[in-house]
Amino acid sequence: MHGRLKVRTSAEEAARKKKEQDLKAKAYRNGMDKIFTLRNAENFDNNLLELSGKILSVNPDITTLWNIRRECIIKMTTDNPDSASTLFDRDLNFTELCLQVQPKSYGAWHHRSWILENSPKPDWNREVSLCTLYLKKDERNFHCWDYRRYVARKANLSAESEFKFCDEKIQKNFSNYSSWFYRSQLLPVLHPHPSDSSRPISEEKLKEELEIVITAAFTDPNDSSAWFYQRWLLGYSDPKLDLACFKLTQSQAVIAFTKLVDLSKDKITISTNTSLDKGIWRSLSGNKSDSIWIQKGEFEISDDILIKMNHNDKTFELEARKIDNNSIIGIKLPSFGYEFGAAVKEELKNQLDSCNQLLEFEPDSKWTLLTAALLMRSIDRFQYHEKTLEYVRKLQKVDSLRAGYYMDLASKWILEEKLKNMVESGKFDKIDLSSLDLSVVYYNQFLFIGNEINLQNNSKLNKKSCKFALVDGCKVTF
């Protein structure tokens, strides 16, 4: 066999690997041991930095070692302030090597920001370049995106340049929550809505963004990141705080808000110029935060009441009228979404056309059905009410895995329509919500206004969602 290449057998190689592993483990334990001995003896010096450096460069995820390293640097710079810049520079280089081993190391990214915050002359622009580099390697490294937002702020980078950067990343790969998110933070700075502060961005920009997002959705409907962004654009976000509904009877007052509030903490003052102002509001559920609050007592039912809410120097009003000798009620129809201008509506209509065109080829395409439904609701939720319901009912069938989600969506839309009709008609006494195939009840804040609420024949209804039923004087039949 002279001259033939000899290779270890797999057993021999396994033995070699095991020996290597064992020795590494020993080296690791020995190193950690030495580090703790030094630290306990408060021997904060180069030796400690070197030892921890060796282990961290192999495994940058050991948080304890980063802590010890910071402790050590603080000690060394306190004892010898001249050494600071050398030490900081060294650790900047060091974290970079660690990040090459593990670009998603919490410890290494955090250590970097600590160095820079403590460094006398931090070079924030260099950090931005570093992020650019790492995001080039992996455009979805969210550790790096977080760090980028932080250093871009420190470096005073313009929103324009950061937006451009985000845009490049989206073009490369739009399955990127971090980049869409950053985009949603930058756009309101760059293109604020000129008149309506509740709207994040101007109509012109909105139109462009809608185009981008529908392109992403058509390219890869299975990617959820674009959908989330579309929701944001179309305004499916938390409602703004406002008064929602009020009902006063002889024994209690109920006031409801568009979102959860904690009246003991949130600096909300309610004034009615009645005896109510002296009483105590308690939440319906007993929780600290609630959207429905109740005051018990003996109340006189006399005149109409103007309820004023003050929050953050803003005043919100709700007019409550006496409708009979037993109750004074007020209701404010919530904004179910943005009212878009003509240009945006035009764009939404074009997109709806495209969806409908596609539905001719693929009548069962779930995401096309859903997009179309959402678009219709954004154009005119009530005009298209029946059609949108038809689409989600179909979705319950073709996408049975998410049937529950679609049912909830339909329940929400049905409630919106009912509420609107109720407010328009001005009739609140009896609310008929029977046989609507509801799975959940939204808009609890408005429903206690009725005296009798009929929820019969909704076999899939989650009764726990009907919190308003706890309000005294609300007769609910299931």
Partner 1 sequence: MATRKKVLLKVIILGDSSVGKTSLMNQYVNKRFSNQYKATIGADFLTKEVVVDDRVVTMQIWDTAGQERFQSLGVAFYRGADCCVLVFDTTAPNTFKNLDSWRDEFLIQASPRNPEHFPFVVLGNKVDLENRAVSTKRAQQWCQSKNDIPYFETSAKEGINVDIAFQTIAKNALAQESDEGIDSAFSPSLTLGSSSDSNNRPNSSDCSC
Partner 2 sequence: MDDLPKEFDLIVIGTGFQESVIAAATSRVGKTVLHIDQNEFYGGFWASFNLENFMTHLNRDTGDKKCKIRNVSQEWFEFTEEKSEINGWNKEKIISEGRRFNIDLIPKLNYCNGKLVELLISSNICRYTEFRAVDKVLTVLNGKIDVVPGSRADIFTKKNVSIIEKRLLMKFITQCVEYKREENNESFKEESFDFPDDGKFIDLMKQQKLTDNLIHYILYAMCMANTETTFKEGLEAIRTYLTSIGRYGNTPYLFPMFGCGEIPQCFCRLCAVFGGVYWLGQKINDIQLINDESGNELVKMNFGNEEISAKKLVCGLDSNFIDLNQNPFEYISRAVIITSSPLGGSTVNSDMDGGGVVLLYYPVEGKSDGITMIQLAHYTSCISKGLYLIHLSTTCQNGAKSDLQPFVETFLRHDHDAETEDDTKPTILFSTYFEIPSSIKGHDYVSQQNGPIYSCSGAFSELDYDESIRQSRLLYSKMYPNDEFLPKAPEPEEIIIGDDDDDREGNVNLGVLADLVPENKEDTDKVLEKEDMNKTQ
Binding residues vs partner 1 (CB under 8 A): 2-6, 57, 90, 93, 96-97, 100-101, 123, 126, 129-130, 132-133, 136-140, 142, 172-173, 175-178, 223, 225
Q: Which is nearer to partner 2, 141 or 351 (CB)?
A: 351
CA distance 55 to 42: 19
Nearest approach, Cβ of residue 287 and partner 2 (Å):
42
- Characterize the bridge pairing of strands 305-311 and 290-296: unpaired
C-beta closer to partner 2: residue 147 or 367: 367
Contacts of 121-127 with CB under 8 Å at 24 or more apart are 121/85, 122/154, 124/151, 124/154, 124/155, 124/156, 125/155, 127/151, 127/154, 127/155
Report the C-alpha gap between 403 and 138 in whole angstroms. 35
**Rounded to the nearest whole angstrom, what is the least distance from the CB of residue 93 to partner 1 in the complex?**
5
Q: Provide, rounded to whole angstroms, the least separation between the CB of residue 350 and partner 2.
A: 10
Convert 106-140 to b/e letters by CB count within 10 Å (16 or more is b): ebbbbbbbbbbeebeebeeeebbebbeebbeeebe
Token pair for residue 322?
Answer: 């006496």
Instruction: Select from partner 2, partner 1, none the partner in contact with residue 280, using the beta carbon and a kind-dependent cut-off of 5 to 8 Å.
Output: none
Among partner 1, partner 2, none, what binds residue 140 when CB lies within 5 to 8 Å by partner kind? partner 1
Rounded to the nearest whole angstrom, what is the least distance from the CB of residue 7 to partner 2 in the complex?
A: 5
Token duo for residue 340: 């878009």
Sign of the torsion formed by the C-alpha atoms of 17, 20, 26 and 28: negative
Question: What is the number of other CB atoms lying within 10 angstroms of the CB of residue 210?
Answer: 22
- Supply the Cα-derived Rg of the chain in whole angstroms: 31
Q: Select the binding partner of residue 189 from partner 1, partner 2, none (C-beta < 5 to 8 A, by kind).
A: none
CB 144 → partner 1: shortest distance, Å?
12
Which of partner 1, partner 2, none lies near 214, with the C-beta cut-off 5 to 8 A by kind? partner 2
Based on CB atoms, which residue is closest to partner 2, 11 or 265?
Answer: 11
The site partner of 158 among partner 2, partner 1, none (C-beta below 5 to 8 Å per kind) is: none
CA distance 371 to 297: 49
Least Å from the CB of residue 12 to partner 1: 15
Q: By C-beta, is 62 or 101 nearer to partner 1? A: 101
The entry of partner 1, partner 2, none near residue 8 (CB within 5 to 8 angstroms by kind) is partner 2
Q: How far is the CB of 50 from partner 1 (least distance, A)?
A: 10
209 Cβ contact partners less than 8 Å away, ≥ 6 residues apart: 187, 201, 229, 233
The torsion angles phi and psi of 31, rounded to 5 degrees, stand at -60, -45
CB of 174 to partner 2, least distance (A): 6
15 interacts with, out of partner 1, partner 2, none, CB within 5 to 8 A per kind = partner 2
User: Shortest gap between Cβ of 23 and partner 2 (angstroms)?
Assistant: 5
Question: Of these partners, partner 2, partner 1, none, which one is at the site of residue 427 (CB under 5 to 8 Å by kind)?
Answer: none
In the complex with partner 2, which residue's Cβ is closer, 45 or 364?
Answer: 364
Q: b/e per residue, 282-296, with b = 16+ CB within 10 A?
A: ebbeeeeebbbbbbe
Q: Give the binding site for partner 2 (CB under 8 A).
A: 2-8, 12-13, 15-16, 19-20, 23-24, 26-31, 33-34, 51, 54-55, 57-58, 171-174, 214-216, 218-221, 351, 354, 357-358, 361-362
Find the Cα–Cα–Cα–Cα dihedral 469, 470, 471, 474, rounded to 10°: 40
**Which of residues 138 and 204 has its CB atom nearest to partner 1 in the complex?**
138
The alpha carbon torsion through 167, 173, 175, 178 (nearest 10 deg) reads -40
Binding-site partner at residue 176 among partner 1, partner 2, none, CB < 5 to 8 Å by type: partner 1
State the binding partner of 291 from partner 2, partner 1, none, CB within 5 to 8 A by kind.
none
Q: Which does 96 bind (CB under 5 to 8 A by kind): partner 1, partner 2, none?
A: partner 1
Q: Which helix (H) or strand (E) holds 1?
A: none
Return d(Cα 366, Cα 375) in angstroms, integer: 14
Task: Return the number of the residue (61 or 96) whose C-beta is nearest partner 1.
Answer: 96
Nearest residue (CB) to partner 2, 213 versus 261: 213
**54/267 with CB nearer partner 1:** 54
Per DSSP, 318 falls in state: E
Give the side-chain half-sphere CA count within 13 A for 24.
10
Q: Between residues 114 and 142, which has the closer beta carbon with respect to partner 1?
A: 142
Give the nearest distance from C-beta 416 to partner 2 in angstroms. 29
As a whole number of angstroms, the distance between CA 49 and CA 45 comes to: 7
